[in-house]
A and B are shown apart, each in its own frame.
Chain A
Amino acid sequence: MVSCGSILDLYRFRQQLRAQRLAICAALIAAVLGTLALSGCRVKAIGDYDDAIDNGITDVQQRAELYFSRLQSTPSTPFDQNFYDDINSRLAVLKSRASSLPMYPIIVEQIGNLKTEFDTFQKLDKDAPRPIQSAIVRDAESAVTVSVESILTLELALKRGVTRPPTLPTKNK
């Protein structure tokens, strides 16, 4: 038969254990929350604005527009491998930079897609007889413009407070 004294001792022992567990839990929670408080406790879901990416993508677009304009104004302009080598090296540098920035996987992928577009246009350009059809240049330019605007819209939004730039109007065909 269990005595009242032993039941009481057991109860007191269990209460003691419970109090100790609560104290340990409270200490752990305070430590975690304290760390959050010390670190600023601001949530961050994506990387920060980078002006090298902003300026670099704008520079790529500028060079591309010059080449597109040349092909449009002078359709007999021969295929220029130097243009593609230059664009590819610039995009490779930008992709490396984006890859090294924290929380930047989206823009890394976007730069990769932009490079793919230039690779595709390179094939179109190289295989197209001269004078090159203006439709080919126009359609390619449109895709590159949309990609550049997409990247820049996101990049500028990473300033967190700057309104996005107005998008270029659709060209009248």
Chain B
Amino acid sequence: MALDVEGLATQMLGAALPILKKNAQNARSFARVEFAKIAQTIVSIADQLATGEINQQQAVLLLSMQTSASRNVLLTLQGLALLAVEEAINAALGVVKTVVNTAVGFSLIA
């Protein structure tokens, strides 16, 4: 039995896209909350420097901590993106599993 390339591609895309969209929304929610905290702290640092609560050296060090925290937020987004891609690819393979395995005559896709 010949495999229909276009049909398979449509099915795989149909399985993968909702997963990618859902994970993008989750990642966006996480990033929004965490970057809001970082932004608020950066503004606080500037205010504290202006009022003399902290000095310049302290402001620089506190800002470097915020920068490091921002890096960790971005790294988490990178990790969540990898998970999303993984889930999407496995869903795409899963949706065409029966058709492909039947066509080739053995369990090519487990």
Contact = CB atoms under 8 A, between A and B. Distances in A.
Which residue among A33, A150, A157 has the maximum number of chain B CB atoms within 10 Å of its CB? A150
Chain B contact residues, majority secondary structure: helix
Contact of A157 (B44, B61, B73, B80): B80
A133 B76 contact: no
Given A139-B65, A157-B83, A41 B30 contact: no
A37 B34 CA distance: 41
B12 interface: no
B80 A154 contact: yes
Interface residues of A, number: 51
Contacts, number: 144
Contact of B54 (A135, A145, A149, A160): A135
Given A120-B61, A133-B54, A147 B83 contact: no
Given A124-B58, A173-B44, A143 B69 contact: yes
B86 A46 contact: yes
Contact of B62 (A38, A110, A140): A140
Given A128-B58, A136-B62, A149-B34, 15 more contacts: A46-B82, A46-B83, A116-B68, A142-B37, A142-B69, A143-B65, A146-B37, A146-B69, A150-B34, A151-B72, A158-B83, A160-B83, A164-B26, A170-B40, A173-B40
Interface of B: 26, 30, 33-34, 36-38, 40-41, 44-45, 48, 53-54, 57-58, 61-62, 64-66, 68-73, 75-76, 78-80, 82-83, 85-87, 89-90, 93, 106-110
